[in-house]
A = this chain, B = another copy of it.
Amino acid sequence: MFWGGREGYESLLNTDMALELDNLARLYRMAIDYAKEIGFDAQFLIEPKPKEPTKHQYDFDAATTIAFLRKYGLENHFKLNLEANHATLAGHTFEHEIRVASINGMLGSLDANQGDLLLGWDTDEFPTDLYATTLTMYEVLKAGGLGRGGVNFDAKVRRGSFEPEDLFHAHIAGMDAYAWGLKAAARLIEGKVLDAFVEERYRSFREGIGADIVAGRATLASLEQYALQNKPIRNESGRLERIRAALNEAIFGV
């Protein structure tokens, strides 16, 4: 696991970012060569984080890390270890980061903590928000699991939780929250709670002009032709409020 916590800059004013990124790629190549040499077959991982301790870290988020790996032809040697609180510091939900990694074939492993969205630093709290654990496990199940990665809390107790007993409570709270989230995610998938909405919303891409677009048969000219036929298009609601109520029903029985 490469945690690039110090791979970033304090200020662009004194930084040769191009050289630093080239060097980072060189280090990764050396590691790949060395692993090959000694027959080391583990999964190499990179953990994105946007900032802290530096002002700006090179592996800002999943997309930035993927852009980097593709530039240097390293994308087949690495997967991502995503962390919930790093996602939120970068301005994303954890689900978003997992989805980005997953649809790019880069989902590797998870640091399953939680942050405080009203604070601007990494709090690494034990995860207890059941919405978050459910949606995280939902993305993982949809992605077909984590492959050779795992779920690690990377969490710590608070300044005011300094007794050994707190570590027990915290681990139990976190494990229960993730176990519960896994079961809730399974219920969501089995009941097609979200899939039903998504399939309905995108159904126009499974027939007619939509299917042509997806199959790569459409051109600007054919789309122009279609538009000129002036067939009425009925916009439809994305039903977000109904979906959020359905989520409360499905995961909490409310």
Contact = CB atoms under 8 A, between A and B. Distances in A.
Interface string A82-97: 0000001111110110
A143 to B, nearest CB: 11
Contacts of A223: 30
A214 B22 contact: yes
A239 interface: yes
Contacts of A118: 51, 55, 88, 91-93, 117
A214 B10 contact: no
Nearest to A163: B237
A237 to B, nearest CB: 4
Contacts of A242: 166, 169, 173
A21 B103 contact: yes
B166 A56 contact: no
Per DSSP, chain A at the interface is: helix
Given A12-B99, A240-B160, A245-B176, A90 B93 contact: no
B71 A16 contact: no
A9 to B, nearest CB: 9
A243 B159 CA distance: 15
Contacts of A131: 129, 131
A17 B213 CA distance: 16
Interface in A171-218: 172-173, 176-177, 180, 194, 197-198, 201-202, 205, 213-214, 216, 218
Given A34-B221, A120-B121, A205-B19, A13 B243 contact: yes
Most buried by B among A51, A216, A244: A244
A93 to B, nearest CB: 7
A43 interface: no
A45 interface: no
Given A14-B194, A176-B245, A237 B120 contact: no
Contacts of A17: 99-100, 103
A245 B175 CA distance: 10
A161 B239 contact: yes
A96 B58 CA distance: 11
A221 B218 CA distance: 54
A212 to B, nearest CB: 10
Nearest to A242: B169
A239 to B, nearest CB: 7
Q: Which 6 A-B pairs have the closest CB atoms?
A: A120-B120, A67-B67, A160-B238, A117-B117, A170-B241, A173-B245
